[in-house]
Amino acid sequence: MAEARPRTLFDKIWDHHVVETLPDGTALLYIDRHLVHEVTSPQAFEGLRVAGRPVRRPDATIAVVDHNIATDATRRTGITDPESRLQVETLEKNVVEFGVPYIPLLDARQGIVHVIGPEQGLSLPGMTIVCGDSHTSTHGALGALAFGIGTSEVEHVLATQTLLQKPAKNMRVTVDGTLPVGCTAKDIVLAIIGKIGTAGGTGHVIEFAGEAIRALDMAGRMTVCNMSIEAGARAGMVAPDETTFEYVKGKPYAPKGEAFERAVAWWRSLPTDPGAHFDKEVTLRAEDIVPMVSWGTSPEDVLPITSTVPNPSSFADEARQAQVQRMLDYMGLQAGQKLTDLKVDVVFIGSCTNSRIEDMRMAASIVRGRKVADGVRAMVVPGSGLVKQQAEAEGLDRVFQDAGFEWREAGCSMCLGMNPDKLTPGQRCASTSNRNFEGRQGPGGRTHLLSPAMAAAAALAGHLADVREWQPQ
Amino acid sequence: MKPFTNLTGIAAPLPKANVDTDQIIPARFLKTIQRSGLGRHLFANFRFREDGSENPDFVLNQEPYRNAEILVAFENFGCGSSREHAPWALLDFGIRCVIAPDFADIFHNNSFKNGILPVKLPREVCEKLMEDARMGGNARLTVDLERKVVVRPNGEEIPFEVDAFRRHCLLNGLDDIGQTLEHKDSIDSYEARQRSSQPWLYA
């Protein structure tokens, strides 16, 4: 037998899941977990119905509502928007008709699909995980291969439990050293995207490695993997280790007892072998990272909070100069303004990037004993009902509310402008979400991406602020 | 799926990089449970002003581009959200081919599943095609998937590469699911093996 070629974490999970390789190299890849939500599934279920096909593995599938729903008290009295209501009702009918497990809106476990997957132990190391949502990359934090798919592929997975896929290339982003005080996982990933650009990972699966990544808790690793898609990558991953196993242990759907030990034994074999080949390698030093904030309308347009708004003329080519000018116009910015002088109207702490209990604790530690600045609307939206419960048990809801924050119910909320939580034209928002695209948080809205700690500081200051000047009292 | 073989049509110039799927179709229009009817919301934030009237400055509101079947754009087209509503909206508007230097992965995948051909060509070639597109109705482009060439109005032929399996599916309008189900036995035996080696993955 030939000596085994050293393989990456991605290679190992990929190889393990190939059902069959077709003559042209396309793989039929087995999918272990399929997460379904109301926005990208109705047309897929309709396709099954028309073709008379069942869901192949309802036990490997789970559905939840998150994108469309209100995050205030009105969700208890029924969804008011007729289109949103129809989409939610359609999912509720489909899960009954096709026998798919479902977490209903008023269940304590309800929440953002990328928060509840890991929280319930539905997402495990070594799995292939898909969902009709680009931020499925989040689940790669567990050492899984997790990626977003379109609705045709949702239907394909429902019908066959497989996908037709060409292997991705391997990319490794190593973050050496120790993260400075005031910096978080969000600052790491914004710094990475700033360095490699929004297409820097296209065609690749990124493995995040290095001392600063290993030191992150699971929530931090999820934040980093979540935004891999903002670097264009198919998926992001972190090798499973003791932090991962400790996190998974005891989760409702995780294996128990002897099955857990067997699973861990396999998971330990997954990390990248020494000498495995990466098609692309990037290295950052954690010590160089400064709290980051985005200034433009693409997640690669990020700068340390200590910077000023860039001048279009400082960019090399004419096309980029015109693009930067257009972004400054949209964002209502002048070249040379200090980022810390930008007044904010809204502060949003939430989204699949930053709505876990660790994010809540981080923001609350900055907020405790202080007040939201006059004229700022500040909101905290926990990622799931269970995150909300935990935060309330720790008294974090009081910390936020005493300071003047709204404390809301779980959902995607103001990340994407398809539920009642939206910016109005021209409003400037400090947001812990993942996309600062034009109109993403509502038509004409202006988004600055940053960490939960930085968002908290912005709410207190009334303008973008350096969290290092707002450390816990 | 409607087959894609050979298309001659008006190409609209969209000289921008990073055209994300939130631009192609904003999230507020994703509340549909159908695939059809999204064309009227294509590029809604650019096509329409706040009062709902058409923005005459946007290319797809100008003649002859209202009838465009091809879009020419720059790098990283289709980045961001995985929403298949983006290709559905393009298709419903009448666009069956997008030409750009490169595409975001998920959009690229989604396009093929809906009979839309994404053509990757180098930036300098896209710039030439952008100039052709600016000539409007006098400058139709031909995209020939059988011969894998784009034909410029001056007759110049530009070859492009496309994945063989995807080309086959597009040319014949084939549905992936039907093809995959021909491998049902392999899927059954994969599951049987996995069920015994990793029983925790089965409820």
pLDDT in tens, B49-87: 989 999 999 999 999 999 999 999 999 999 999 999 999
Whether A160 sits inside 8 A of B187 (CB atoms) is yes
Q: How far is CA A190 from CA A13, A177, A228, A229, A371, in A?
A: 27, 17, 10, 12, 28
* Interface size between A and B, measured as CB pairs under 8 A: 179
Q: Cα distance from A230 to chain B (closest Cα, Å)?
A: 7
Which portions of chain B are predicted below pLDDT 70? none
Distance CA B88, CA B57 (A): 24
Whether B31 sits inside 8 A of A425 (CB atoms) is no
Is the pLDDT at A3 greater than 70? The verdict is no
Q: How confident is the model at residue A78 (pLDDT cuts 50, 70, 90)?
A: confident
- For chain A, give the percent of residues with pLDDT over 70: 99
Residue of B nearest to A133 (CA): B82
**What would the mean pLDDT of A434-461 be, rounded to a whole number?**
97
Contact residues on chain A for B33, CB-CB shorter than 8 A: 42-43, 46, 86-87, 90
pLDDT of residue A2: 53
pLDDT tens, residue by residue, A250-282: 999 999 999 999 999 999 999 999 999 999 999
Contact residues on chain A for B20, CB-CB shorter than 8 A: 298, 435, 437
Q: Cα distance from A149 to chain B (closest Cα, Å)?
A: 6
Interface test with A, best of B193, B197, B198, B202 (most A CBs within 10 A): B198
On average, the pLDDT of chain A sits at 97
Interface test with B, best of A41, A69, A85, A151 (most B CBs within 10 A): A151
Cα Rg of chain B, angstroms: 19
Nearest CB neighbour to B201, from listed A32, A42, A444: A32
Q: Cα distance from A444 to chain B (closest Cα, Å)?
A: 9
pLDDT of residue A473: 84
Is the pLDDT at A317 greater than 90? The verdict is no
Neighbours of A312 (CB within 10 A): 16
pLDDT tens, residue by residue, A167-225: 999 999 999 999 999 999 999 999 999 999 999 999 999 999 999 999 999 999 999 99
Is the pLDDT at A286 greater than 70? The verdict is yes
Q: Cα distance from B122 to chain A (closest Cα, Å)?
A: 15
Whether A199 sits inside 8 A of B75 (CB atoms) is yes
Whether A149 sits inside 8 A of B82 (CB atoms) is yes
Burial class (CB within 10 angstroms; exposed 0-12, middle 13-18, buried 19+) of A115: buried
- Mind spelling out the 3-state secondary structure of chain A? CCCCCCCCHHHHHHHHHEEEECCCCCEEEECCEEEEECCCCHHHHHHHHHHCCCCCCHHHEEEECCCCCCCCHHHHHCCCCHHHHHHHHHHHHHHHHHCCCEECCCCCCCECHHHHHHHCCCCCCCCEEEECCHHHHHHHHHCCEEEECCHHHHHHHHHHCEEEECCCEEEEEEEECCCCCCCCHHHHHHHHHHHHCCCCCECEEEEEECHHHHCCCHHHHHHHHHHHHHHCECEEECCCCHHHHHHHCCCCCCCCHHHHHHHHHHHCCCCCCCCCCCCEEEEEEHHHCCCEEECCCCCCCEEECCCECCCHHHCCCHHHHHHHHHHHHHHCCCCCCEHHHCECCEEEECCCCCCCHHHHHHHHHHHCCCCCCCCCEEEECCCEHHHHHHHHHCCHHHHHHHHCCEECCCCCHHHCCCCCCCCCCCCEEEECCCCCCCCCCCCCCEEEECCHHHHHHHHHHCECCCHHHCCCC
- For chain B, give the percent of residues with pLDDT over 90: 94
Whether B181 sits inside 8 A of A159 (CB atoms) is yes
Is the pLDDT at A1 greater than 50? The verdict is no
Q: How confident is the model at residue A233 (pLDDT cuts 50, 70, 90)?
A: very high
Greater confidence (A327 vs A318) lies with A327
Q: How confident is the model at residue A246 (pLDDT cuts 50, 70, 90)?
A: very high
CA-based nearest residue to A34, from A67, A66, A17, A59? A59
Residues 201-220 of A with CB under 8 A from B: 202-203
Cα Rg of chain A, angstroms: 22
Whether B27 sits inside 8 A of A418 (CB atoms) is yes
pLDDT of residue A109: 98
Query: What was the ipTM of the complex prediction?
Result: 0.93
DSSP state of B167: H
Q: Cα distance from A274 to chain B (closest Cα, Å)?
A: 26
Nearest CB neighbour to A26, from listed B26, B27, B165: B165
The helix (H) or strand (E) run that includes residue B112 is helix B105-112
In angstroms, the first-to-last Cα distance of chain A is 63
pLDDT of residue A79: 87
Strand, helix or coil at B12? strand
DSSP state of B103: B
- For chain A, give the percent of residues with pLDDT over 90: 95
Residue of A nearest to B189 (CA): A19
Q: Cα distance from B196 to chain A (closest Cα, Å)?
A: 12
Strand, helix or coil at B36? coil
CA-based nearest residue to A345, from A423, A436, A435? A423
